[in-house]
Amino acid sequence: MQTRTVFNTPIVRGFFRLMFITLTWLRGWEVVGEKPSHKKYILIAAPHSSNWDFPTMMGAAFVLGLDVHWIGKHTLFPKGVVGFVMRWFGGISIDRRKTNNTVDQIIEQYALRDDLLVLIAPEGTRSKVDNWKAGFYHIAVGAGVPIYLAFLDTKKRQTGIGKVFYPSGNYEKDLAEIKSFYSDKVGFNPE
């Protein structure tokens, strides 16, 4: 099952890619990394400290040719034009009223689709946090997909995709390794 999004609509994708290449260059930033070779994966993005994170990461997504999806409450996806637009922008509706939880609903989406990239900010907020939300990890383990580490770094003026991480099932050990990748990355609001 392939869904049409702003990221894979041919003319629109090309327009936004050119626009973000230009804007990235004008801002003095660099998009690094390559489009992942996997068809299904989780993409986590950190640090998440500002409203500027979203346009910066969307720029990287268009430049690298990613077809990004994100998770939203079912109420963001009403019937009609608004729901269509939210899905076109990559939204996946999650119904929190159902007995199965968000993790299970996203794992089900991975089973239904041939290609799927879900972008998650593991910090869950723009505020500084000590503990990340574990959902991204449990989705990756349950769906049997790797985790790609996306980032932005205001110190180096870079954004993009770093390394791929294959979860072992040992959450504490794996999270420490994942967080070590981000230890030198500086967000827009580091405090």
Residue 40 lies in a domain: yes
Pairwise CA distance, residues 142 & 140, whole Å: 6
Residue 4 lies in a domain: no
Pairwise CA distance, residues 33 & 36, whole Å: 9
- The total of other beta-carbon atoms located within 10 Å of residue 61's CB is 28
Tell me the backbone φ, ψ of residue 156, rounded to 5 degrees.
-95, -5
Residue ranges making up the domain that contains 173: 10-182
Pairwise CA distance, residues 146 & 139, whole Å: 10
Looking at residues 109-134, what average pLDDT do you find? 84
The H or E element containing residue 34 is none
Residue 189 lies in a domain: no
Q: Are 60 and 31 in contact (CB under 8 A)?
A: yes
Q: Return the SS3 of 44.
A: strand
Confidence band for 139, pLDDT divided at 50, 70 and 90: very high
User: Quick check: 126 pLDDT over 80?
Assistant: no
Q: What's residue 125's pLDDT?
A: 59
Please tell me the total count of domains within the chain. 1
Q: Are 21 and 63 in contact (CB under 8 A)?
A: yes
User: Quick check: 1 pLDDT over 70?
Assistant: no
Task: Find tokens 């968000």 and name the residue.
Answer: 102
Residue 115 lies in a domain: yes
Residue 178 lies in a domain: yes
The pLDDT tens digits of the residues spanning 49-75 come to 677 777 888 889 999 999 999 888 888
Q: What's residue 181's pLDDT?
A: 96
User: Quick check: 153 pLDDT over 80?
Assistant: yes
- Provide the strand spans (E) within 16-101: 30-32, 40-46, 68-73, 91-94
Pairwise CA distance, residues 166 & 140, whole Å: 9
Residue 187 lies in a domain: no
Residue 48 lies in a domain: yes
Q: What's residue 179's pLDDT?
A: 93
Percent of the chain residues past pLDDT 70, beyond the cut: 93
Q: Return the SS3 of 50.
A: coil
User: Quick check: 164 pLDDT over 90?
Assistant: yes
Residue 144 lies in a domain: yes
